[in-house]
Chain A
Amino acid sequence: MARHRDIRNMDYSEDYDGYDDVYGHSVDDDFYISPSNRQFLYNREPSRSSEGDIKEEDESEAELSDIDRAKLASCIDQIKQIIGSISISRNDLVNIIIQQKFDIQKSISVIMDDSLHSAAPEKDNSDKSKFTVPKLNSGITNYAPKFTIPKFTIPKLNENSHIASLDSNKIIDSIADKKQFGNLSDLVSTHLKINSVSPPIDFKTQLKFLHKNKPETLEITPKLGKMSISESRSSCDMPDKTETKFQIDLSVALKNTISAPLISTKEKENFQIPFIDCEPLELRHKKEALNKELLCTLNMKNVKNLKLTSEKKKSFFGRVICRNYKRYVKQIMQEKINLNNIKRFDFSSVSPDIVNQPEVVQTSELDTATKVISSTPKTVNITKGFDLPQKELKVSITPRSQSPASGKITPVGNTIFDNVDDVKTQRITDSKFDPQKLYQKERGDGKEHLYMVVIGHVDAGKSTLMGHLLCDLGQVTLLDAPGHKDFIPNMISGAGQADVALLVVDANRGEFEAGFDYGGQTREHALLVRSLGVSQIAVAVNKLDTVSWSQERFDDIVKKLKTFLRQVGFKESDVSFVPCSGLTGQNLIIKPTENDLLRWYDGPCLLEVIDKFRSPERPVSKPFRLSINDIFKGTGTSFCVSGRVETGTLSAGDKVLVCPNREYAVVKSLAIEESSKTIVFAGDQVIATLSGIEMQNVSVGNILCDPQRPVQVAMKFQARIVVFNVSVPITKGYPVVLHNQSLVEPVVVNKLISQLNKSTGELLKKHPRFLGPNTSAIVEIQISRPIALELYSECKELGRIMLRIGGVTIAAGLITQIIL
């Protein structure tokens, strides 16, 4: 800086007076906005002219009394619930309702009659609330030339999107509390039946659906939306290939929908979240591509708006139908079938959308329908790359679809599903029905996998026994847990993945007692596996040959263990005892041959007992969770994680969230014991190859979960614990090691909230000073860094915890409250 006084004392503010005027605000130009900021910018340009339209509509109600208005509102709501926004503007609806004196039944029949008689013209009428062909057309023809500058496109598109959103908004209203369909909905369905003129596709099956199912009217609108899109397409002769770049348009669509005043805030959130991913690419492409792709933009936007609503309650079948529909539309475009036809098809396909019964699916789309589901999740991750595997897409294409572009168009719709956060809702409905169904389909035929953990005191003969068993059997998946106390952490992670347990005890005099009495691993192991959620246990009374197959000894052990196991919490029916010898192989896989044993034992052999284990219920319909217990390099650049799917299902291609870091990853492939799978279910031991995430950012104990319904992440939680036989009482501030599935983490017992009666669970004492042996209590636990957790009530598998210190398990518990 110059040293001259004049310069030093210069008043800069004077010289820069004009500066702010020129540079003070950022240039509001789409060209220079960082893509990632784009969505946060307020668009100053668009005239939100359509606001006026909405108000006008409402004016007819102005002269009604308050009570009437309330009645009217409820009527409209109910009618919307029943028929959706089928084909009537609010104005007309209000008129009809008033004419029918607020009688819903009558109003609906009037509406339906109207729509019956004037089905085609009705829809072509430029209803304000509807996305109609003429309007769209005019929009395109008028504005298309100007689209070279993005600024122009946005406001103009806005109008259209606004109309669409208006429509969708209504449906959302109706969805909001759509719970029951009464007679009225049946009425609708019959109307529809009559109305439906057989379209070339699937009509027969659709009729079946009509019989079998109640119609869900909300599906109508999306169809209409799509229909009009296709109409506009055909009228403008846009080449199909524009579809491929639709990603670009999404940003426009996003912007538009956000600025559309009618869309509720809730929806906005839904919109924004999924878009973040594809944002950067979009804008870059947008500039040059926009001109060509105007139409496509329109399409996408509208479809999206409509999808938003449709997804709320859409079954997977709905999607199938949508695709059908799209395919169908394609055909129409080629074959130049007239518009009416489409509409009729549309109507008739309304009711099938809610079909959820598996048999129906099979009849309609045969195996393609089910495959579609497995392919849908795959598209989740495709938002970025867009090189959809053609194979997957073809799955949903029936031989009928002749359009060369159909391969492309299918993913378009799909990707929108995924972009818009509706996947969430979509999945919810999906998971209600599909996973179970799929599970049945995939796993119904074969024998169910059962994971068994073998536990017992050091040298009880676990490995010998299992070695012998395996040797005799061929192959079994075996989790052999070490008996030594230093390796109990390993055992916990092993047992956490087991469904059933085999407890091996040594029948030798003195040996059994050593393992069973305090300090022995027999007790601790049994306690652990029970606390880890294993409910069925078989006890192999091993080495009985060394006590010359003494019945007395066997009974003695059985008696002791039975009492103990009951205390631990095993049901009597879930515990079985087998005398055997691991060394000689007596009573392992074949009935005993030893006379000494035969004299008093005629029960099943060990293998039979193992075979008799019931496979536990697999919570396939819950949100997906997988607790990582191993991470290793796979082939190539990717890496693999392995673990047990605790709940839900996972398909190859799914996007998953790695918690607690909350990083996204994509599942490239899945395998169960080296055989690759496309879909895995709760209870499976899975090796998943992940991409899109650094190996260092994943660690053992992390949870893979469904990004839409992620696992909770917290540093503090409350748990109800049962304190075992501890030598040192648990006080406030007690440092322990927390085990939760495969996670091992040092934690501090932060607060002792209350002490409970161990058996009844009633409150004994608030804020106890300490927790002695064999007590039950509610405590607060503080973790030094965030971990992924679930409430026990929501996910049993992840809601169980175990507290250990100094190599001893001191308590087991359930997470009752997560404190964020």
Chain B
Amino acid sequence: MKLVSQDIDKNGEGMVTLIPEEAEDMWHAYNLISEGDSVRSTTIRKVQTESSTGSSTSNRVRTTLTITVESIDFDTQACMLRLKGRNVEENQYVKMGAYHTLHLELNRKFTLKKHEWDSVSLERIDMACDPTKLADVAAVVMQEGLAHVCLILSSMTIVRAKIDVTIPRKRKGFVQQHEKGLVKFYDQVMQAILRHIDFSIVKCVLLASPGFVKDQFYEHMFQTAVKTDNKLLLENKSKFKLIHSSSGFKHSLKEVLQDPHVINKISDTKAAAEVKALENFYTTLQCEPSKAFYGKKHCETANAEQAIETLLISDSLFRSQDVKLRKEYVNLVDSVRESGGDVKIFSSLHVSGEQLEQLTGVAAILRFPMPELEDSDEENEES
């Protein structure tokens, strides 16, 4: 993302002009824009005109519109962002108050105007515009009959392909069927890798599986590559890394990202950092239950005591449509920072973020135990 201009007054009101450059930037934009903001961007609109004779013609014109956002749709697979709202600046084609849906496009600038820019949003802009682009990693988690081909970007994990086939088991007199099924499965995974992984961007492909599936697959893939003279694969052979995972389900990515070899390679991706932070939280919960809490109420109480050392919070909470609620979370983040705590905003598109989201979306590791919180929790939960 490119920041073109920023004009925010001391009250936090103002506008920012940005140019999204890649798919992931749409995700940032999605997290930035909330309902009630106004967005100005170029768009295509179908305009109907009636001539004096009464005949009407409709044609598509490219025009620049400003709308107040009423609803936001984000397609994670295609990384498309759709903003629906009413026009607030009349022009020759579109009347005031007419509805229009903006599609934010790559490499076309848009201006976002907010009544209040909070710290979380500003941080998001900084993060999105960080030019030190992190390594893009692809991962294939697989087990016999199941594979997920994923792209791990710095703030999102996208499952590009899921391959789920049944492979007959080995049985007396039916071994060929098993082998055939296996080969077919490997071929499908290989096709998915070729189709979805852009080796010019991706620096590393992690092949993870339990047992020997990954080894067999690796072997099969390069044998086939040699046979079919697939230069692309052969050239990038060094990018493949074999890692152990316990299953081929998506949440096994967590294990993959915890693997020491992987951490070395991609240590600065957000994904790995998030996994580690969440892991820390769970360990604390196990060892010192009175130092780890989750849920908004607990975290707020702990924060009031300035007890929070690390706050884990999911970005989905900031997309809340309830402005008040969003503000409460922003305040929590600000106040933790003020008291010297560390705040980790999890991307809800990562596996760890998904898990945190299930875990109420907010969790905290405390500086000191607060057993009184534990006692109070029964009443809280019941009420």
Using a CB–CB cutoff of 8 Å, the interface residues on chain A facing chain B are 3, 5, 8, 484, 486-487, 489, 629-633, 642, 674, 698-700, 727-729, 731-735, 737, 744, 746, 748, 750, 765-767, 769-770, 772, 804-808
Contact = CB atoms under 8 A, between A and B. Distances in A.
Contact of A769 (B210, B251, B294): B294
A396 B28 CA distance: 74
Across the A-B interface, the 9 shortest Cβ-Cβ residue pairs: A733-B358, A632-B168, A807-B246, A767-B381, A733-B359, A486-B210, A746-B249, A735-B251, A486-B211
A748 B358 contact: yes
Nearest to A726: B286
B142 to A, nearest CB: 13
Contact of B166 (A3, A484, A631): A631
B99 interface: no
Contacts of B378: 765-767
Given A632-B171, A633-B168, A633-B177, 9 more contacts: A489-B210, A632-B177, A728-B279, A731-B282, A733-B357, A737-B246, A766-B381, A769-B294, A807-B247
B162 to A, nearest CB: 12
Given A486-B211, A700-B166, A733-B356, A769 B246 contact: no
A729 B282 contact: yes
A633 B145 CA distance: 16
B262 to A, nearest CB: 15
B126 interface: no
11 contacts: A486-B244, A629-B169, A630-B171, A631-B168, A734-B359, A766-B381, A767-B377, A804-B246, A806-B255, A807-B210, A807-B247
B285 A731 contact: yes
B55 interface: yes
A674 B358 CA distance: 48
A728 B211 CA distance: 23
B286 A729 contact: yes
Given A733-B355, A733-B359, A769 B374 contact: yes
Contacts of B289: 729, 769-770, 772
B177 A735 contact: no
Contacts of B247: 489, 737, 744, 746, 807
Contacts of A769: 285, 289, 293-294, 374, 377
A735 B355 contact: yes
A699 B285 contact: no
B283 interface: yes
B357 to A, nearest CB: 7
Interface in B283-310: 283, 285-286, 289, 293-294
A808 B279 CA distance: 16
B215 to A, nearest CB: 12
Nearest to B251: A735
Contacts of B250: 746
B216 to A, nearest CB: 13
Contacts of A729: 282, 285-286, 289
Nearest to A702: B166
B131 interface: no
Chain B contact patch, size range:
35 or more
A765 B174 CA distance: 53
A671 to B, nearest CB: 12
Interface in B126-173: 145, 164, 166, 168-169, 171-172
A772 B286 CA distance: 7
A744 B210 CA distance: 14
A737 B251 CA distance: 9
B168 to A, nearest CB: 3
A392 B101 CA distance: 67
Interface in B169-187: 169, 171-172, 174, 177
A198 B56 CA distance: 93
B382 interface: yes
Nearest to B246: A807
A486 B245 CA distance: 9
Contacts of A642: 171
Contacts of B351: 735
A93 to B, nearest CB: 60
B166 to A, nearest CB: 5
B360 interface: yes
B54 interface: yes
Given A486-B211, A632-B177, A729-B282, A737 B171 contact: no
Interface in B232-249: 244, 246-247, 249
Contacts of B357: 733
Interface string B208-225: 001100000000000000
A806 B359 contact: no
B358 A732 contact: yes
Contacts of B293: 769
Q: Which of B164, B171, B172, B244 has the most CB of A within 10 A?
A: B171
A747 to B, nearest CB: 10
Contacts of B210: 486-487, 489, 807
Contacts of B252: 806
A736 to B, nearest CB: 8
A734 B244 CA distance: 21
Nearest to B164: A699
Interface string B109-139: 0000000000000000000000000000000
A728 B282 contact: yes
A744 B357 CA distance: 24
Nearest to A736: B251
Nearest to B143: A489
A5 B54 contact: yes
A808 B378 CA distance: 30
Contacts of A699: 164, 166
Contacts of B164: 699
Contacts of A630: 168-169, 171
Contacts of A5: 54
A418 to B, nearest CB: 31
Contacts of B249: 737, 746
B376 to A, nearest CB: 11
Nearest to A731: B359
A524 to B, nearest CB: 13
A299 to B, nearest CB: 46
Contacts of B381: 766-767
Nearest to A673: B172
Contacts of B283: 728
Nearest to A698: B166
A735 B352 CA distance: 10
A744 B144 CA distance: 12
A674 B285 CA distance: 53
Q: Which of B55, B168, B177, B374 has the most CB of A within 10 A?
A: B168
A729 B358 CA distance: 15
Contact of A766 (B355, B356, B382): B382
Interface in B61-99: none
A793 B186 CA distance: 41
B377 A806 contact: no
Contacts of B354: 735
B55 to A, nearest CB: 6
A732 B55 contact: no
